[in-house]
């Protein structure tokens, strides 16, 4: 059992990604964001996940710099993810968007770069751009987000490099078993966004019962469930006590009965858009 916050899992190209990171979806630019990223690093987080569309790469970059300095670390100690937005997809425009992301973040390279959504007719060209960046060593790993099996099969027909990660909506109400099995089979690491279902599970009676039994919060139980399923996870928070609490999930283990109970909560229910039917 990985018993500490710096625990990693190895992607199929040998790069190690922390199993737990900080997400910053919907956190606006400003001091709160910078402070949250800095605090997370000081509290032991080593992975920060952002995206062009979040409009906060500059603040994330500043938080990383301040956090690294405060914790006496170097850039190489932090795993940084960003994503190319739908409007920027296509070969040349993806390459340009990547450069802009690096500039805003104030970084020389990214650890992980993802295609944010499978935009029809564009994601293959976008993937070619990611392969180029990867081969040039500008990014240590490349992957996709919100790709279904059909999108992955289509991408893999022409891909020279297989995606290292598929970051998707994943929580006890949306366990995506078939997609996860397919990714596992392909050696594509599964990563969860919105692992706490944007707070909608925090009063669930089944989860409350399990949480009470372990003396943990519902959030901690869900994040532990992710980790035991081998899923990398990036809960979002700007509050220090939550950032600390979310990280405190390595010192206990759920029984297989409790894992099954949580699996049983699945209703194929999304809080985000459906990747087979989105128009942005």
Which residues are catalytically annotated?
54
Pairing, β 139-145 against β 165-169: parallel
Helix (H) or strand (E) holding 152: helix 149-158
Pairing, β 165-169 against β 189-193: parallel
Under a CB-based contact definition with an 8 Å cutoff, are residues 166 and 189 in contact?
yes
Q: What is the DSSP string of 79-102?
A: EEEEEE-GGG-SHHHHHHHHHHHH
The interaxial angle of helices 91-105 and 57-71, nearest 10 deg, is: 40
CA–CA distance, 184 with 140 (Å, rounded to integer) = 20
Q: Can you name the residues that pair with 142 across neighbouring β-strands?
A: 113
Under a CB-based contact definition with an 8 Å cutoff, are residues 125 and 89 in contact?
yes
Q: What angle do CA 166, 234, 84 make, to 5 degrees?
A: 50
Q: Is 116 annotated as a binding residue?
A: yes
Q: State the CB neighbour count (10 A cutoff) for residue 157.
A: 7
| Residues that constitute the known binding site | 116
Task: Tell me the binding residues for substrate.
Answer: 116
């Amino acid at each position: 059992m990985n018993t500490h916050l710096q625990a990693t899992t190895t992607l199929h190209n040998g790069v190690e990604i922390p199993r737990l990171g900080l997400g910053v979806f919907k956190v606006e630019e400003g001091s709160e964001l910078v402070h949250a990223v800095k605090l997370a690093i000081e509290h032991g987080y080593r992975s920060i996940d952002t995206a062009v569309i979040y409009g906060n790469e500059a603040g994330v970059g500043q938080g990383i710099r301040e956090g690294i300095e405060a914790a006496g670390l170097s850039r190489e100690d932090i795993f940084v993810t960003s994503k190319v937005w739908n409007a920027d997809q296509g070969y040349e425009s993806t390459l340009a968007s990547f450069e802009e992301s690096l500039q805003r973040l104030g970084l020389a390279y990214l650890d992980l770069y993802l295609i944010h959504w499978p935009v029809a007719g564009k994601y293959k060209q976008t993937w070619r751009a990611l392969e180029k960046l990867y081969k040039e060593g500008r990014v240590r790993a490349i992957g996709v987000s919100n790709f279904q099996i059909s999108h992955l099969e289509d991408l893999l027909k022409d891909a020279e490099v297989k995606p290292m990660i598929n970051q998707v909506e994943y929580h006890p109400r949306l366990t995506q078993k078939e997609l996860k099995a397919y990714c596992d089979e392909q050696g594509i690491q599964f990563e969860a966004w919105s692992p706490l279902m944007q707070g909608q599970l925090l009063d669930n009676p089944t989860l409350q019962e399990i949480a009470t039994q372990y003396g943990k919060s519902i959030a901690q139980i869900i994040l532990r469930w992710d980790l035991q399923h081998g899923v990398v996870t990036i809960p979002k928070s700007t509050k220090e006590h939550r950032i600390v609490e979310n990280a405190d999930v390595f010192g206990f283990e759920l029984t297989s009965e409790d894992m099954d109970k949580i699996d049983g909560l699945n209703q194929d229910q999304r809080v985000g858009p459906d990747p087979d039917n989105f128009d942005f």
